[in-house]
Structure 1
Amino acid sequence: MAFQCQRDCYMRELTTRVVSCSPAELQLENNGKKEKIKGFNVTVKDTILFPEGGGQPDDHGTMGGVQVLRVTRQGPDAVHFVSSGLEEGQEVLLKVDWERRFDHMQQHSAQHLITALADALFGYKTTSWELGRQRSSIELDTARVKSGEAEALETAANEKIRSRVPVNVRLLSLDDPEVEKVRSRGLPVDHAGPIRIIDIEGVDANMCCGTHVSNLSHLQAIKVLGMEKGKKNKTNLVFIAGNRVLKYAERSYNTEKSLISLLKTGPEEHVQAVDKLQKNIKRLQKTNLVLLRDMAVLIARNFKSKPDQGNFFTLHYKDGDNEFMNIIANEIGFEDTVIFLTVGEETGEGMFLLAGPSSVVDSLGPRVMELLHGKGAGKNGRFQGKASCLAKRVEVEALLQEHSHQMKAQEE
C-alpha cells in the first residue's frame, strides 16, 4: 500500500487510529555512544511519517503529542517507535517535522534529477546514493568524471529547476506494461501493493518509495560540491540542494568573515596566508623541540651538580613530552636515584615516568599508576604511562620521599 505521506508529501498533519501497540526496545546513538531505550512499537491505520527506505532516512514527528523516535517499514506496515504506550483503537493526531521532511524531499528529488541527467548526458549510471545530514552523494559507475562534466551537469540540473518541470506520482500494478519502461534497482523482497513511480516530466521515470517535491522549482537550486574517488572504479558525486544551498552559503560567508578578521587578508589570499602560518608553526615547533631537549639536559646537570642532591628527584613541566622525561632520567642516571617526572595539565591529564633501581620501580610502579588513575607498564628500571589525575602527584611524591628516606636510613 502507499501511505498518506507518499500520496501527499506536503501534508503535515493527519488524524488516524491506532491498530496495534506492543512493548519494544530501540537502540539509539547519543554523542557517539549507543544506548538501548524501552518503548512501544505502534502501527496506525495510515501515516504521514515516512518509514526509512530507498536511501531516505525516516521522518521525525509526534503521535498524540509524544515524540516519534523511529519509523521503519515492515511489509505493508509503518512501525512507529514511541516512549509511551497507546491504546488500540485510540484516535491520534500525527504531526511531521516539516523542516526535516522538506529537506529530505529536496535532496531526494535532486538525486533523481542528477542521476537522470548524468545518464542522459554522459552515460554514467547511478549504483547507489546516500542522503547525509549536511550533504548527499551519488555513486556513479565510472572511474573518472572528465573535466567540465560536473559543471555541465550542475548547469543542466538548474536549467530544469528554472523551467519548473512538474514531478508526478503514479501508482501502477505489478503487471502493468508501463513498469518495464521505468528505471529501477528492483523491489524489496517484502514489497506489497502497487508500484510507485516518480515521474519528472520529460526527464525521468523511476520506481521509488520516497517523498518528493511536486515541481522541480521547489528544489530552488542544486550545487555540485565536487567529485570524490569512490569504491573500485566508482566516483562519488557530492551535492546539496534547496535550503541546504542557502545554509551552505551562510556558513561560508560567516567563515570568510572570521578568516578576514583573523588573517587580516582578503578572501582570495586566505589559502596563501594559512600556508604561510603552517610553515611558521612547523619551524617554531622544531625550534621548541630543540630548546626542550636542551632544557632537559640542563635540568639534569643542575641536579647532579648539587652536593646535597640526595637520591630522589621530582619535576612537573606542563609542556614536556615523553622524550623530555627520558632525557632527564638518562642524564641523571637512575641506578641509585629515584626519579619521578610528569608532563601535562597540572591537575588534569598527562604522562608520568618513574625511574630508579629495578627493585624500587617494580614494587612502587603499580602503586604510582593507581594513585594517578593511570595506565602504563614498566621494565628495566622504568615505569611510565598516561595519567588521568596529575593532581595526585603530591601523594606520589610523598610516597616516594618516604621510601627514599627509608633507603637512606638503611644505607647509614
Structure 2
Amino acid sequence: MQLDRTIFYPEGGGQPGDRGFIDQVKVNDTQLNANGEILHQIEGESNFVAGQEVTLTLDWDHRYDFMQQHSAQHLLSGTLYTLFKIGTVSVHLGQAEISIELDTDELSEEQIVATEEAVNKVIRQNVPISAQTVKQEEIPPLNLRRSVKVEGDVRLITIEGHDLIACGGLHVKESSELGYIYYLRSERIR
C-alpha cells in the first residue's frame, strides 16, 4: 500500500523496515520500490480508497530497537577502524543480535577486548549522535570512514569525536541509549 506521505521508514542499508498500523490494518514491513516509493506491506485486505485520510501508528519498540542496533554498529565499526584499520564489509541487524562482516581474516582476543572496552567507554560518556546533510563538495575535508556511494546531497551521521560516515538510516541521539555491547562469537563466512 502506498501513501502520499508516511512516518514509516523503509528497509535499507541493513536496517529493517518499520511496522505498525494504518488505521486498524497491520503493517508488517515497509519497503522502498525501484522508483523510490515507500510501500507498506499490510496484513490481509483493506477497504481504503484513494484520498482517504488515515492514522498511522508506528511500532516504536521495533523501530527504537533497530535505531539502537544501527547506532551501536556505527560505533563498533568506527572503533574497529580507528584502532585497527579494520573496515566493515556488511551488516545484518536482527531481532536478537547484530552480525557484522569485517574485512579481516581474524580478530585477536586482545583486539576484541580493546574494542569492547573502547565502545563501552563511549557509551558511558553519553556522546551526542547527530545527522546533517551536506553537499558533495563539502565532503573531502571531513575525513569520512568510508567513501560516499550516492550523488547529490549526502546525509552524514556523526558520533561526536568517534565516527563520521554517510548514512540514510535511523539513529539514537546519544550513545548512552545503546546500553552496553559485548562480543558473542565470530565465524569465518568466506
Normalised by the length of structure 2, the TM-score is 0.89
- Residue pair 1:51, 1:72 contacting (<8 A) in 2 also: yes
- The C-alpha deviation readout for 1:322-346, integer Å capped at 9, x for no partner, is xxxxxxxxxxxxxxxxxxxxxxxxx
Q: Percent identity?
A: 38
Report the counterpart of residue 43 of structure 1 in structure 2. 3
When structure 1 is superposed on structure 2, of 101-110 and 128-137 the one drifting more is 128-137
Pairing partner for 2:26 from 67, 76, 80? 67
- The C-alpha deviation readout for 1:27-81, integer Å capped at 9, x for no partner, is xxxxxxxxxxxxxx22232x22110001111111111221112211134421112
Report the counterpart of residue 126 of structure 1 in structure 2. 88
Cα pair distance change 1:49/1:204, threshold 3 Å: same
Deviation at 1:85, TM superposition (A): 4.2
Greater radius of gyration (CA): 1
Question: CA RMSD, aligned part only?
Answer: 1.9
C-alpha separation between the residues in 2 aligned to 1:86 and 1:163?
A: 48
Report the counterpart of residue 199 of structure 1 in structure 2. 158
Structure having the larger proportion of residues in helix: 1
Report the counterpart of residue 177 of structure 1 in structure 2. 138
- Residue pair 1:172, 1:179 contacting (<8 A) in 2 also: no
- The C-alpha deviation readout for 1:197-231, integer Å capped at 9, x for no partner, is 11111111111121110000100111111222231
SS in 1 for 2:82: helix
The AA in structure 2 aligned to 1:155 is E
Report the counterpart of residue 394 of structure 1 in structure 2. none
Gaps of 5+ in 1: 1-40, 232-412
Report the counterpart of residue 58 of structure 1 in structure 2. 17
Normalised by the length of structure 1, the TM-score is 0.43
- The C-alpha deviation readout for 1:123-150, integer Å capped at 9, x for no partner, is 1111111112211111111111122211
Report the counterpart of residue 8 of structure 1 in structure 2. none
- Residue pair 2:130, 2:157 contacting (<8 A) in 1 also: yes
Q: Which has the higher contact order (CA 8 A, sep 6+)?
A: 2
- Residue pair 2:78, 2:145 contacting (<8 A) in 1 also: no
SS in 2 for 1:120: helix
Pairing partner for 2:39 from 72, 75, 79? 79
Gaps of 5+ in 2: none
- Residue pair 1:150, 1:226 contacting (<8 A) in 2 also: no
Once superposed, which parts of structure 1, at least 4 consecutive aligned residues long, lie more than 4 Å away?
none
- Residue pair 1:43, 1:77 contacting (<8 A) in 2 also: no
The AA in structure 1 aligned to 2:75 is L
Q: Count residues with an aligned counterpart.
A: 186
